[in-house]
Chain A
Amino acid sequence: MGIANRIGFRGRLVTAMVALVAVVSISIGALLMLYLFEDEKARAVEQLRLGERVAAEILERRTSLILSRLDVVVRDFGFRSALASRDRATADSALENQSRRVGARFAVIIGSDSQVLATASTPPENLRQRAETLKLLAEAQVNGFASQITVIDGRAIELVTLPVEAPGLRAQLIAGFELGEEVADIIERLSGTEVRYRAKLPGDDNFQFLSDDSAMSDGRLRELAGVSAENQMGSRFVSSPHFFTRILILSDDPQTSLQLLLLINRDASLAAYYKRAIEILLLISGVLILAALIALIVARSLGRPVLALAEYAKSIGDGASPEPPRIRAGGELEELRHALGDMLEKLKDREAQIRYAASHDEITGLPNAHAFLNSVREGFSENQSYRLFGLRINELSNINDTLGLAFGDKVLQAVADRLRHELPDHSELARTGGGEFLMLADACTGEALNALAHQLLDAVQAPLMIDNTPFALRCTMVSLQLPEDAQDTDQVRRRLNLTFELAQSTRQRVTHYQPGRDEDHLRELQIISDLTSAIADMGLHMNYQPKLAMADGSLQQVEALVRWIHPELGFISPEEFIFLAEQSGQITDLTRHILRRVAQDASHWHASGLDIGVAINLSTMDLTRPELIDEVADAFSDWKLPMSAITLEVTESALMDDPETALETLGRLRQLGVTLSVDDFGTGYSSLSQLRKLPVQELKIDKSFVLKLDSEPQDQLIVRSTIDMAHGLGLKIVAEGIENREAWHILKGWGCETGQGFYMSRPVGASDLLATVNKLQDMKPELETPGETTP
């Protein structure tokens, strides 16, 4: 197929046509030549067969004639008298005379006792001893006559034998008649073939010709001499390069086999044959050239419209609407042109449908978000200013869920109708997904803006009847001023969403975009996108704040706190980026990273002899992940201290979001042997009944209760009762946010087990931990005895 692909339609047509013509004409030519050849052969065969019959007939006639002549001779009374006279001279002369009469070459009379009675013209010496002579005599005894052709002295001689019988005379006449040129000439004349005698003489393997052959070239003579009758079984027809030959066996005597060759010389017919062959070849070549030309012309006349149609199809493919090419030829190409034309029409229809579907909402028939944003883009490029309204149907999913999708669709159509009806002319309205409609109206501010917005909102929120059901919608409406509030479609979309989010929290009927809102949003996006690389590139720092045992002021644990100094935005508070990480799902990576970092730092200080445990904060989302347990186990696989020296701190709110999953996760963490702690206790909505079931070992009182503990009696009450409650539940208490010595000692007095706060130590880097340990050693006296006054 490679070649077929390369040579193209025209080449293939020419090839096919020329090949077809070549095959056909060469076949016809070959057949014709074969027929000519066969015809020549058949005619030769026929002619030679005729020649053979003629030759046989002539020889037979000649024999008959000779016999009848001799018959008269042997019955001649004078001749018989001469023989009976027993006078040799008389007998010889009589025989001489008679043999001259009949044209015999020689003759001899043999008596019944085998003695020679007479001879004429000196018969060959050994005539009477020859095998064929004896055979002849025997045959004549039976049949009354015999004849036999043989070779004598290099001549073809017919020996004829007749009995010479008369009362009292018994003898045999043997006469020889030469088969010479005259006989050959007669046969040639009657049959139209050439005639040659050839004989194989005793002791000779090859045939010799008995006639004068000076007219024929030696090569031809050799060819003829080599023509053999033996290998032609049954038929004695032989074809050799220049002759068709038929062989008549005149004498099959092994001693001297004599044959008559009938020849048709093929030179003339071969010459004619070659001439024909050349003519046919010329004709075939001519026809081939003609066929190639016709094929080229046909291919051109076919190819041009095909190419035109290909161009046509190509431009249809390119989306143009070309004029169909003019095609003179009818039939299939016309069909193809119509088909392409139809295709163009259908493509246009389908394209229109697709374009409509792509730019319209199927429920309301309004333009969709894509089309709307295109309009917005056009507005930007034309530097027009517009007021963009956004309207969202609250609770559309609830409507769909409770009243069915069909109902929801009717609601959407009703809203679309009302908006279309209320909007000023030249405004654009689109449904951009869900229950969201966007409108583009002429720019307006102040009173006009409020009037239009309220008009739209009131129209939509007015009660409506759907399927005989009275129905009232609640909607949220926002607006942006273009191009002041947004300069491109991305900003439009983002700020629109921001404003909708804002509108959820404000109680206004219509919320306008406030410039600058979007920058906060962008900062969040940047934080989210940079957090990933910060985690990967160790851009986060770990600080550790000591947790001291209140009983003796000894350092037991440090709380791991993550810190991020952003290269552009500076210090980002953990609350902010952890919240965003929870939003974006990066919290998983962050937790895993922190676990590993803490384990790594701890292994360093354990190596330097500081056996200090760690406390790590977990996020709400961490508790929903079953993998957390494995991550903890993996991170602390080389942990030297008891597993209980690892405390995982979980906020109250995290526990209360999805108590069942949290409970399951905590249970499995507990199986690892780690200590579990409730962080920020007292700020969330803890259910004390849940708290009873939780597998936690400590509560960490939120620092808001501890910061001013020495001066706020309410805080003291809360803290103290919390400590009592915790102890009652078998939990230990950690107080964080201890700012002064008084608070430390108050808590210590209440039986709080562990304390944490700036009074003892700020969070420090891992490298500064050793110095902090020493500093805390120095603080011990302070921590053990309550001072009178704060320093």
Chain B
Amino acid sequence: MFKNWIVPLLLTMAPLALAAEPTTLSVRIVDSSTGEPVEDARVIINHGQAAEPSSAEMIQKGREFRPHSLVVPRGSKVDFPNRDNTQHHVYSFSPAKSFNIELFAGQPEEPILFDKTGVVEVGCNIHDQMQGFILVTESALTARTGPDGMAAIRLPASVSAMADGKLDFSLWHDRLQNTTQTVDVTASIPSSGPLELALDLKLERPEKGRLDGLQKRFQDL
């Protein structure tokens, strides 16, 4: 489902009688089908102040984008240096950012500016199996789950003291059914213990080999 990424921050200006203490929110992401903890899930809390733009890198090494996924604030610039001995043709058709870096080796001419929030899929026209994701966010409250599926996010007082105790989360993982979008959920902060959120995931990243069977048959002939 598509959500409007521009969340109106009605609560930020509200002077509260009792300024709440900043708290740390523990979020646990599990696989909805197996109940296993999910590693490397991105958790974004869509409240609080906008993050400051920054610059980041997504290098190509061993015919892979490294890191495989990247979270950057809106307005950030990302560079795509090539560390391989082959050239790459990095491009994206994602609506959040379409770009095209023709074949290059080493450092591209200039970094790419990501000025829209959303998930940008990055690929290489020469090497189909290369895939990378850049999550462009408005929010600064982001985290990544560890092997135990846990992520800790330090909430500013303004956020933790929200009147109704409900938060809007955007979750992403590269094993989502649709990796081109984040999964947006609203959840209440539990009074104690971590907040547990479930994701519908594929078992593992499918091999990019839909014609393998056919090719095998041709080889048999």
Which residue in B178, B206, B218 is a CB contact (below 8 Å) of A64?
B218
Decide if A64 touches B217 in the complex (CB within 8 Å).
yes
- The verdict on A84 contacting B93 (CB below 8 Å), with A68-B214, A144-B210, A170-B180 known, is yes
Decide if B123 touches A166 in the complex (CB within 8 Å).
yes
| A356 within 8 Å of B (CB atoms) | no
| A9 within 8 Å of B (CB atoms) | no
B-side contacts of A434, CB under 8 Å: none
The answer for the CA separation of A714 and B218 in the assembled complex, in Å, is: 172
The answer for the CA separation of A112 and B93 in the assembled complex, in Å, is: 14
The answer for the CA separation of A222 and B12 in the assembled complex, in Å, is: 82
**How far apart are A217's CB and chain B's nearest CB, in angstroms?**
41
| A80 within 8 Å of B (CB atoms) | yes
| A462 within 8 Å of B (CB atoms) | no
The answer for the CA separation of A68 and B217 in the assembled complex, in Å, is: 12
A-side contacts of B122, CB under 8 Å: 167
Decide if B91 touches A167 in the complex (CB within 8 Å).
yes
| A75 within 8 Å of B (CB atoms) | yes
The answer for the CA separation of A37 and B113 in the assembled complex, in Å, is: 81
Decide if A168 touches B214 in the complex (CB within 8 Å).
no
B-side contacts of A144, CB under 8 Å: 206, 210-211
B-side contacts of A143, CB under 8 Å: 210
B-side contacts of A67, CB under 8 Å: 211, 214
The answer for the CA separation of A112 and B120 in the assembled complex, in Å, is: 16
A-side contacts of B100, CB under 8 Å: 81
| Residues of B168-221 whose CB lies within 8 A of A | 178, 180, 206, 210-211, 214, 217-218
Decide if B210 touches A167 in the complex (CB within 8 Å).
no
A-side contacts of B147, CB under 8 Å: none
A-side contacts of B131, CB under 8 Å: 167
| Residues of A162-187 whose CB lies within 8 A of B | 166-170
The answer for the CA separation of A342 and B122 in the assembled complex, in Å, is: 125
Size range of the chain B interface in the assembly: 20 to 34
Decide if A64 touches B123 in the complex (CB within 8 Å).
no
| B92 within 8 Å of A (CB atoms) | yes
The answer for the CA separation of A83 and B211 in the assembled complex, in Å, is: 22
**How far apart are A165's CB and chain B's nearest CB, in angstroms?**
9
Closest to A163 in B: B210
| B128 within 8 Å of A (CB atoms) | yes
Decide if B128 touches A168 in the complex (CB within 8 Å).
no
Closest to A84 in B: B93
**How far apart are A286's CB and chain B's nearest CB, in angstroms?**
57
| Number of inter-chain CB pairs below 8 Å | 50
**How far apart are B93's CB and chain A's nearest CB, in angstroms?**
3
B-side contacts of A75, CB under 8 Å: 128
Decide if A167 touches B92 in the complex (CB within 8 Å).
yes
**How many residues of chain A are within 8 Å of chain B by beta carbon?**
19
| A471 within 8 Å of B (CB atoms) | no
For chain B, what secondary structure do more than half of its interface residues adopt (helix, strand, loop), or is it mixed? Answer: strand
**How far apart are B69's CB and chain A's nearest CB, in angstroms?**
13
Contact with A along B11-48 (1 / 0, CB 8 A): 00000000000000000000000000000000000000
| A605 within 8 Å of B (CB atoms) | no
Decide if A169 touches B93 in the complex (CB within 8 Å).
yes
The answer for the CA separation of A145 and B214 in the assembled complex, in Å, is: 11
The answer for the CA separation of A168 and B134 in the assembled complex, in Å, is: 11
The answer for the CA separation of A407 and B218 in the assembled complex, in Å, is: 129
| A657 within 8 Å of B (CB atoms) | no
| A274 within 8 Å of B (CB atoms) | no
The answer for the CA separation of A666 and B217 in the assembled complex, in Å, is: 141
The answer for the CA separation of A180 and B121 in the assembled complex, in Å, is: 41
Decide if B93 touches A80 in the complex (CB within 8 Å).
yes
**How far apart are A139's CB and chain B's nearest CB, in angstroms?**
12
| B165 within 8 Å of A (CB atoms) | no
The answer for the CA separation of A513 and B103 in the assembled complex, in Å, is: 176
A-side contacts of B92, CB under 8 Å: 167-168
A-side contacts of B120, CB under 8 Å: 168
**How far apart are B132's CB and chain A's nearest CB, in angstroms?**
8
Closest to B217 in A: A64
Contact with A along B122-147 (1 / 0, CB 8 A): 11010010011000000000000000
The answer for the CA separation of A145 and B93 in the assembled complex, in Å, is: 22
| B54 within 8 Å of A (CB atoms) | no
| Residues of B45-63 whose CB lies within 8 A of A | none
Decide if A167 touches B218 in the complex (CB within 8 Å).
no
| A71 within 8 Å of B (CB atoms) | yes
A-B contact pairs, 24 of them (CB 8 A): A64-B214, A64-B217, A64-B218, A68-B211, A68-B214, A71-B210, A71-B211, A75-B128, A77-B91, A83-B93, A112-B178, A144-B210, A144-B211, A145-B210, A145-B211, A167-B92, A167-B93, A167-B121, A167-B122, A168-B92, A168-B93, A168-B121, A168-B123, A170-B178
Excluding A77-B89, A167-B93, 9 further A-B contacts by CB distance (< 8 Å) are: A64-B214, A68-B214, A84-B98, A144-B211, A145-B211, A167-B92, A167-B94, A169-B93, A170-B180
The 3 closest A-B pairs by CB, nearest first: A144-B210, A168-B94, A167-B123
